[in-house]
Amino acid sequence: MKENKTIWQAVKFTLFSVSAGIIQVVSFALLNELLNWPYWPSYLIALTLSVLWNFTLNRRYTFRSAANVPVAMAKVFGFYLVFTPLSTWLGQLAENAGVNEYIVLAVTMLSNFVLEFLFCKFVVYRNQENTRK
């Protein structure tokens, strides 16, 4: 039974992540193509918008958590304190090496998706899933 719950959470997390991914790609494209901004500020702004959207939906619907929002957000912020500089730096290195910025973005987003689900499941909402009424 617990396996089914985890699978269903993974499905919901995936669907919400797809919507967050759309927000990230569209905002990245607008900043990168229309405003002609460099990779790293375009990526950081797009990532921030995506994270806020994803956090809000997954807290409420995927993990159904009544956990203290500032505490949960602080934990997610901690995840991104490590992930964001590392992914920004590596992404900029890849882009400088000639890798297409959209390939860099796709690889980064896929890494973010997997790592964030695991972090939310086992750190942010550990022992606080399904506490929302």
Report the b/e string of 6-17 with b at 16+ CB within 10 A: eeebeebbeebb
Domain membership of residue 133 (yes or no) is no
pTM of the model: 0.81
Distance (Å, rounded) from C-alpha 115 to C-alpha 31? 26
Determine the structural domain holding residue 108 and report its residue range. 2-124
How many domains does the chain contain in total? 1
Domain membership of residue 60 (yes or no) is yes
pLDDT of residue 6: 84
pLDDT of residue 16: 95
pLDDT of residue 75: 95
Residue ranges, the chain, pLDDT below 50: none
Domain membership of residue 129 (yes or no) is no
E strand intervals along the chain: none
30: CB partners within 8 A, 6+ apart: none
Which structure tokens are listed for 24? 């990230």
